[in-house]
Amino acid sequence: MNVIDYLKKYGNISFTDKPFNEVDALVYSQLSYFDFSDTSCCNENLDYSLKSFLDNDYNKKRVAAIWNAKENHRFAMELKKSSRFYNSGVGFYRFDICNKTEKQFSACVFSITDSLYYIGYRGTDASFVGWKEDLNLGYLDVIPSQKEALDYFVNFASKYDGTYIIGGHSKGGNLAIYAAVMCYDRLKRRIIGIYNNDGPGFLESMLERKSYLEVKDR
């Protein structure tokens, strides 16, 4: 079963009847690759919905710059039939790419319920700087995107109380772990799940940190 099969089978079952699981995390991680620029998703609120995006602002160009655009379009069309995800609020979209600092960063937030939020970090895109940053992960203690991932989460959590699930695919999964490990203790306690979908790991110095061990089971 792939993600599209999952949407066909479970897409109209509420989170009350079928609690959030690792495939839901993968769905939101994939959504973080979508181009939400020039929409109300860029505002620092969650008044904009996935429904608004798919009904009013979506076109194939929104997924053309990411891997397997054809399948991502199929994914988007299946989401339109899915009440489980369709009404999710979407906001805080950020896209930041800088050749000078070798940073490729993007993230957005999805509301799952009135008090549960998924913070989704985008993985590596097709840009040269994105690939360069991936290589930097192999020998640097901290990369620019990790710093921005932490800043992004703290900024969102300062505005929206509740509980948080943090995740991403590829480099996005690494960023999710970094933000969870390095955030304030009061925010760390409100994180109920961290999803690293096929993302790169860390240097030993990170894995030995007390703050890493505190969230490892999540």
pTM: 0.93
Bridge partners (DSSP) of residue 111 are 89, 117
% of the chain beyond a pLDDT of 90:
67
pLDDT at 114 exceeding the cut of 60: yes
Q: Dump pLDDT digits (tens) for 131-190.
A: 556 566 666 678 888 999 999 999 999 999 999 999 999 899 999 999 999 999 999 999
What confidence tier does 70 reach under pLDDT thresholds 50, 70, 90? confident
CA–CA distance, 38 with 25 (Å, rounded to integer): 25
Check: CB of residue 33 under 8 Å from CB of residue 69. Answer: no
Q: Which of 67-76, 82-91, 166-175, 179-188 has the weakest average pLDDT?
A: 67-76
Mean pLDDT value of segment 103-122: 93
Q: Please give the radius of gyration of the chain, using alpha carbons only, rounded to the nearest integer.
A: 16
What's the rounded Cα separation, in Å, for the pair 126 and 204?
28
Q: Give the pLDDT of residue 123.
A: 80
Has residue 130 got a pLDDT over 60?
no
**128 has a pLDDT exceeding 50:** no
Identify the residue with better confidence: 71 or 176.
Answer: 176
d(CA 138, CA 120): 22
DSSP string, 153-179: HHHHHTT--SEEEEEEETHHHHHHHHH
